[in-house]
Amino acid sequence: MRIVMLGGPGAGKGTHAEYMSERLGVPHVASGDILREEVASGTDLGKKAKSYMERGLLVPDDLVEEIIARRLSRPDAEGGFILDGFPRTLEQARWLDGFLRGNGWGLEVVVNLVVPDWKIIRRLAYRRICRNCGAIYNLITMPPKREGVCDKCGGELYQRDDDREEVVRERLRVYRRQTAPLVAYYRRRGLLVNVFDLGEEDVRSEEVLEAAISKAEGRSEARGEG
Ligand code: AMP
């Protein structure tokens, strides 16, 4: 399965992608995580990316394309992957099409998570992440058993700098301007499945996985492979 997760900041891409990656046995490739690693290790690319990330702006396409090309060229991505946070611009989407075609690959499905702003702001303001294993918590809806400590590995929980409210609002503006057009791009290609996460209760990752699988099956039947 080759899947793209679309949706605004805090839409739940990372949480659902992680679950799907375990269930499907394909790597979860998160452009934001890779960029944060580059920043933390102080690489040239990380130094260039840092100032954009701090302001909630998109890192230039060529830098992100470089890290994605590198990551998808590793052997574990041969059997599929779940892309989270990439592509985020039409240029990146076109680049990805070319990159996949060059490997004889294509996307099976694009999952679009539709989440209202009030939920996004609540989620991000209370989001905490494990410094060690990357597990994601929410102080309201999914608190850790011990404050500040990861249930899974005992690592320290922290808040991302760009989860502060003013930066979140900028990220929402950037999403609407630069990333939202990808919804129409993938819909036209017949790849899109919407998952609506509109209520008080969050959509479960199993439901997202089921939506992705039934879309992919529907597409392969339509092509006469089913
Ligand atoms: P994320 O963890 O996906 O929310 O990404 C965090 C930040 O990394 C974003 O606000 C951007 O500054 C940068 N970033 C991640 N993915 C991309 C991308 N595909 N294109 C440009 N910038 C990105």
Q: Three-state SS string across 58-73, please?
A: CCCHHHHHHHHHHHHC
The whole-model pTM stands at 0.90
Which residue has 């500040």 as its token pair?
A: 148
pLDDT tens-digit profile of 28-85?
999 999 999 999 999 999 999 999 998 889 999 999 999 999 999 999 999 999 999 9
Going from the Cα of 225 to the center of ligand 1, the distance in angstroms, rounded, reads: 36
The catalytic position among 88, 123, 128, 215 is 88
The answer to whether 28 and 17 are in contact (CB under 8 A) is: yes
> Residue 86: CB within 6 Å of ligand 1?
yes
Share of the chain above pLDDT 90, in %: 80
**What secondary structure does DSSP assign to 139-161, as a single string?**
TTTB--SBTTB-TTT-PBEE--G
Q: What is the pLDDT of residue 200?
A: 87
71 is an active site residue: no
Q: What is the pLDDT of residue 219?
A: 80
pLDDT tens-digit profile of 96-114?
999 999 999 999 999 999 9
Alpha-carbon distance of 114 to 35, in angstroms, equals 25
Q: What is the pLDDT of residue 109?
A: 97
127 is an active site residue: yes
171 is an active site residue: yes
> Residue 8: CB within 6 Å of ligand 1?
no
H helix and E strand count, the chain: 9, 8
Q: What is the pLDDT of residue 13?
A: 94
Q: Is the pLDDT of residue 142 over 70?
A: yes
pLDDT tens-digit profile of 159-173?
988 888 888 889 999
Mark residue 9 as left, alpha or beta (left: phi above 0; alpha: psi -120 to 50; beta: remaining). Answer: beta
The catalytic position among 160, 169, 187, 219 is 160
CA dihedral over 189, 191, 196, 197, signed as positive or negative? negative
Going from the Cα of 109 to the center of ligand 1, the distance in angstroms, rounded, reads: 21
Q: Check: CATH 3.40.50.1370 for 2-27+74-222?
A: no
CA 122 to chain centre: 18
The answer to whether 212 and 20 are in contact (CB under 8 A) is: yes
Residue 123 banded pLDDT, cuts 50, 70, 90: confident
Alpha-carbon distance of 192 to 33, in angstroms, equals 24
Going from the Cα of 24 to the center of ligand 1, the distance in angstroms, rounded, reads: 24
> Residue 167: CB within 6 Å of ligand 1?
no
Residue in 76, 68, 124, 126 with CA at minimum distance from that of residue 99: 68
> Residue 134: CB within 6 Å of ligand 1?
no
Six-digit token pair at 147? 């404050």
Going from the Cα of 63 to the center of ligand 1, the distance in angstroms, rounded, reads: 11
Alpha-carbon distance of 84 to 7, in angstroms, equals 9
